[in-house]
Structure 1
C-alpha cells in the first residue's frame, strides 16, 4: 500500500512541478505566445489522469512489475515534458 501511495505522490509532484514551470515561463515572458505552454499543461494533465488510472487499477497480476512500469512511464513522460518546457 505504501508503494502505491508514494507512487501517487511522485506523479502528483513531478507533473505539478512541470506545470508550475510552464506558469513561471508564461509570467516571465508575457510577450510570447502561450499556446505552446498550454499544450504542455494539457499533456501533463492527460498524463496525470492516465497514470493515476493505471495506479488505481486493481486487476493486476504482478503489482511490483506493474508499479515499476508506471514509474518508468512517469520518468519518460516527465523527461519529454521537461524538454518541451526548456525549448519554450
Structure 2
C-alpha cells in the first residue's frame, strides 16, 4: 500500500491512500472498452480532485498548490476525453492509454 503522511491542523497526521489511483494506472493498459476507459479515467481524475480538496481542508497553506494541481487535472481530463472521442484505431487508443497512465501517476505524485 502506498501511503504518505502529512501534517495537518493541530499537528495530527492524515494518511493519503493513493492505492486506488495507482491501481487505475496499472489497470489502464489492459482495458478493452472505450466506455470503461472513460469511466475509470474520470474516477482517477475525480479522486485526484477530491484528494486536493481534502488537503486544503487539513492544511490551508496548500490551497494554492492544490488548486494548481486540480486545474491541471481538469484541463488534462477535458483534453483526453476529446482525444478519446476523436480516436478510432487501436494504435491511437494505445497511445492515449499510455499518456493517461503517465499523467495520472504524475498528478498523484504531486499531491503527496
TM-score normalised over the length of structure 1: 0.84
- 1:29 deviates by 1.2
Q: Point out which structure has higher relative CO (alpha carbons under 8 A, 6+ apart).
A: 1
User: RMSD between aligned alpha carbons?
Assistant: 1.4
- Where structure 1 has 5 or more consecutive residues not aligned to the other structure, the ranges are none
Q: In structure 2, what is the Cα distance between the partners aligned to 1:24 and 1:71?
A: 27
- In structure 2, the partner of 1:3 is 33
**Structure 1 segments (4+ residues) deviating >2 Å:** none
Alignment of 1:1-88 (within 5 A): 3-30=33-60, 32-58=61-87, 60=88, 63-86=89-112
* 1:15–1:48 Cα contact (<8 Å) kept: yes
- Segments of structure 2 that go 5 or more residues without pairing to the other structure are 1-31
Which has the larger strand fraction?
A: 2
Instruction: Normalising by structure 2, report the TM-score.
Output: 0.67
